[in-house]
Structures are given as C-alpha cells and as structure tokens.
C-alpha cells in the first residue's frame, strides 16, 4: 500500500467547513437510537452469554432465517442454510474472490465499478476487464464482446461482478428486460455471476427490482448487506450461494475470522424482530430521495456547459462527466481549496479510465449542504476550464496509491 496524495486530500472532508460529496456514509441520523439502545442492552442482559461467545462461521441461525425474509422482497426464495453471514458484504466479496480467483484470472465488472471490489480483485491478482454500461445498465452486447475477447486471449473468466441496482458509482440500474439476457450469456459461457446488491431496497419510486439470483439460483452468488438499510458500523452482511460454494465459504470464513461478531448479529436479529425495519427503509428512501433531488436540481442550476450526469432512481450516487480535457483527479486540490470534496473517476476503473468523471455522493450531507457543495464544485470546474483554456489539452498525470476515499470519509 502506498501513501496517496489523492487520499490525503480527503482528510479535510470531515471538517464542517468542507462539503463532502466524496464519501459513502449512510444517513444514520434517521435511526431510532433510543429504542435501539434499549434493545441492545436487553440483548446483553438476556442473551449475553451467547452474544459475547464464539459463534459458528456460518452465522446465527435465526438471523439467517430473517435474511431470507429480507431477500424475499426481491423475489429470492432461499434456504437459510445457503446463507453465510459475513463481516459486511465486503468480506463476502473478498472470500468469493479468494475461492474462485487464481492470479491472472479475469473478473468481468461494469466500468466504472465499486472501488472496494476492485481492491479485492487486485489483492488476489485477478485481472479486471470492464464492460460498458449505458442508462439501462450493463450492455449485453458489450458483455458478449468482452467474453469473446477474453476467451480469444486464452485467459479464464471466473465471474461477472455486477451491481444491478442503483449502481456504485454510476447510479444506473440494469433494465429488467436485460437481466435474463445477461444471465443467459453468463450461463452459456460458464461464467458465474456475483450479484452485489446493497442498494436494492433503496429505490425512490417504490420499485424493488427482481434480483438476478431470483431467476438463476444455480449460477448466481448474491451479496447482501445491512449497511445501507440499517447500520453500516455493525458490519453485518451476507452471501447467498449455491450449496457447493457455500460449504467453501464457511470454511474460508472460519479461517479468516473464526466467526462474524455474534453480538452484532444478535443486534441485527433483534432489530428485525422488534422494529419496523421496512418502515425504517422507507424513511431512508425518503431521506435519500430528497437528497438526490437537491443534488440534481443544483447540478442543473450550476454546472457548466459540457457536463453531463444521470438521475439515479435509488441509491447514493450521481456519476458526473465534466467538460472534455479536465482531469478530475488533478482538479481535486482546487476543490479542497474551495471547500468541496468528491471522488475522482479513476478510482472506479482498474484500467486508468475515468479521468473525466467524478462521483457525487448525496447520502450523507443535508440537502442544503448538497446544494452548496454542488455550487462550489461548479465553480471549481469553471476555474479548471480556464486553466485548460490556457494550457491546452493535457494528459492525466499518473498518481500512485488509492484514489478513492476511505469508508469513514464524510
């Protein structure tokens, strides 16, 4: 791991003077902390000897049953035995990569893709081949081409990693009519699908899309998470996998952590039993929709000509393309000087693309702050345009180390 000039700049994001549109921290202010603390106290009081003890690497059985109820909202019929509880879905992703990938194996992923996934793939020396997206998500034709191209090169594709709903960072959703086609392409070529779905229940129009896993239980490994629907700090996620894979996952999990934190699992389980968790998700959805609206209206009002963006129907992120010639990574110090932070696009690609893109996160700041942040960002871009008019077209400078903010960035 090398120290990163880019990442160091995010240190100011936590200061109140700075509007951070960089991080991905959920809006926890919406949680009912008082009733929650009473339940947590009761978990320790009544189940403490279990909660504070080792558990199985598979996860607490009752929670695994409840997880199946959560997934049922997306049309998934699953058996609790096929669920493995993990320390956030990030651990699930790490273990799936560890189990499937040898150095040099290919993982297909949308371009751009979730930076944490790219980090896991890099850690196991898997090669990422990006597949293009449009407003309807992953493009089936681009997927066919990518598969053919990798196969021609003689390399092995281990899986397609996809975030079908309210994509991070692109904000788009895989159109329902494309889902069967994507699954069919993968099945035909013997490519496993790893479906990462942390945002699926956070659709602003009340629409919950059917999970890929719902129609293809044998060829999809599903990653789920309570980080966005409940509490990220508890680090409780899960993997739903076909039986044979699940066995390997349990063993891998055992060797990695012995077991996921029992107390945290019991807290999630108790929360699901005693709280209106569906109502809570609705509250989150409404908070995020209001923030999305603030971001989009501010973008429409302030952004200079030549900038484009999508309007996400759920999730946390807007993916912005800035006027040609601007390198969003090189622009970041200017943004910090003007008290706004964003994540530059290159961190979301394994192949150096993304220099003209940036990700705006609207999940954490208030709508008012989001509007102010976008206004500042627009000014930063205008100043940068002026610089480019002076010096003409430039090529992005290579900067080592991670380009994306750490998970605790505001």
Partner 1 sequence: MSNRWVAVLSGGLSHEREVSLRSGRRLSAALRSVGLVVEEWDADGNLLTRLKEHRPDAVVVALHGGEGENGSVQTILELMNVPFVGTDSRACRRAWDKPTAKGELARAGLVTPDWAVLPHATFRELGAQPVLDAMVEKLGLPLMLKPDQGGSALGAQVVRDAADLPTAMVGCLAYGNTVLAERFVEGVEVAVAVVDGPNGPYALPPVEIVPENGVYDYTARYTAGLTDFHAPARLDEKAAQAVGELAVSAHRLLGLRDVSRTDAIVAPDGTVNFLEVNVSPGLTETSLLPMAVEAAGQSLGDIYADLIERAVTR
Which residues would be at the binding site for partner 1 (CB under 8 A)?
1-5, 7-9, 11-12, 15, 17-18, 327, 330-334, 336-337, 339, 384, 386-397, 399-401
Residues 6+ apart with CB under 8 A from 94: 120, 123, 256
Q: Which of 337, 327, 340 is nearest to 376 (CA)?
A: 340
Q: Whose Cβ is closer to partner 1: residue 95's or residue 332's? A: 332
State the DSSP code for 314: B
With respect to partner 1, which residue has the nearer C-beta, 12 or 31?
12
Cα–Cα distance measured from residue 163 to residue 117, given in angstroms and rounded to the nearest whole number: 10
Closer of 80 and 402 to partner 1 (Cβ):
402
Instruction: Work out how close the CB of 406 gets to partner 1 at its nearest, in angstroms, rounded to a whole number.
Output: 11
Q: Which residue has the tokens 């609207």?
A: 362
Residue 234 vs 385, nearer CB to partner 1: 385
Sign of CA dihedral 72, 74, 80, 85: negative
Of 122, 173, 169, 127, the residue nearest 149 (C-alpha): 127
Report, in Å, the least distance between residue 391 CB and partner 1: 4
Cα–Cα distance for residue pair 20/30, rounded to 1 Å: 19
- The minimum distance between CB 400 and partner 1, in angstroms, equals 5
- Asked if residues 187 and 137 have their Cβ atoms less than 8 Å apart, the reply is no
What are residue 359's DSSP bridge partners? Answer: 319, 343
Which residue lies nearer to partner 1 by CB, 192 or 385? 385
C-beta closer to partner 1: residue 48 or 333: 333
Quote the least distance from Cβ 385 to partner 1, whole Å.
Answer: 11
Nearest distance, CB of residue 323 and partner 1, angstroms: 14
Decide whether 146 or 385 has the Cβ nearer to partner 1. Answer: 385
Question: Do β-strands 157-162 and 106-110 pair in parallel, antiparallel, or remain unpaired?
Answer: parallel
Tokens at residue 4, please?
A: 């990163």
Least gap, CB of 23 to partner 1 (angstroms): 15
Q: Collapsing DSSP states into helix, strand and coil, what is residue 245? A: helix
| Token representation of residue 184 | 């069919």
- CB 90, min distance to partner 1, A: 23
Contact between 158 and 108 under an 8 Å Cβ cutoff? The reply is no
First to last CA, the chain: 22
What span, in angstroms and rounded, lies between the C-alpha atoms of 314 and 332?
Answer: 26
Q: Is the CB of 130 or the CB of 388 nearer to partner 1?
A: 388
CB of 404 to partner 1, least distance (A): 15
Of 272, 278, 269, the C-alpha closest to 62 is 269
């Amino acid at each position: 791991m090398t120290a990163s000039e880019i990442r160091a700049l995010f240190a100011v994001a936590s200061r109140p003077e700075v509007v951070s549109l960089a991080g991905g921290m959920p809006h926890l202010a919406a949680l009912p902390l008082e009733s929650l603390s009473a339940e947590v106290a009761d978990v320790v009081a009544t189940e403490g000897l279990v909660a504070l003890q080792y558990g199985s690497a598979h996860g607490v059985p009752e929670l695994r049953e409840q997880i199946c109820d959560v997934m049922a909202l997306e049309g998934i019929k699953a058996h609790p035995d096929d669920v493995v509880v993990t320390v956030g879905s990030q651990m699930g992703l790490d273990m799936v990569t560890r189990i499937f990938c040898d150095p040099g194996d290919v993982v297909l992923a949308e371009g751009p893709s979730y930076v944490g996934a790219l980090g896991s793939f890099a850690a196991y020396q898997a090669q990422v081949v990006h597949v293009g997206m449009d407003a309807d998500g992953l493009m089936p034709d681009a997927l066919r081409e990518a598969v053919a191209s990798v196969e021609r090169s003689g390399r092995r594709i281990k899986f397609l990693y996809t975030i079908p709903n309210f994509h991070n960072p692109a904000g788009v959703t895989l159109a329902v009519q494309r889902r069967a086609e994507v699954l069919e392409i993968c099945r035909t070529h013997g490519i496993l699908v790893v479906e990462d779905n942390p945002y699926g229940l956070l659709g602003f129009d009340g629409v919950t899309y059917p999970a890929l896993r719902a129609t293809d239980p044998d060829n999809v490994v599903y990653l789920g998470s309570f980080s966005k629907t409940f509490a990220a700090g508890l680090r409780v996620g899960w993997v739903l996998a076909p039986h044979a894979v699940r066995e390997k996952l349990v063993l891998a999990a055992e060797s990695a952590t012995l077991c996921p934190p029992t107390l945290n699992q019991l807290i999630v389980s108790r929360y699901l039993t005693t709280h209106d968790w569906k109502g809570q998700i609705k509250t989150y959805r409404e908070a995020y929709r209001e923030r999305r609206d603030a971001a989009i209206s501010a973008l429409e009002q302030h952004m200079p000509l030549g900038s484009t963006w999508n309007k996400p129907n759920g999730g946390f992120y807007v993916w912005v393309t800035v006027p040609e010639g601007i390198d969003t990574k090189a622009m970041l110090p200017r943004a910090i000087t003007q008290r706004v932070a964003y994540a530059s696009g290159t961190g979301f690609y394994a192949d150096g693309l993304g220099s003209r893109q940036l990700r705006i996160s609207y999940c954490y700041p208030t709508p008012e702050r989001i509007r102010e942040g976008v206004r500042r960002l627009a000014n930063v871009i205008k100043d940068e345009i002026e610089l480019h008019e002076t010096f003409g077209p430039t090529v992005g400078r290579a900067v080592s180390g991670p380009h994306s903010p750490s998970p605790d960035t505001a």
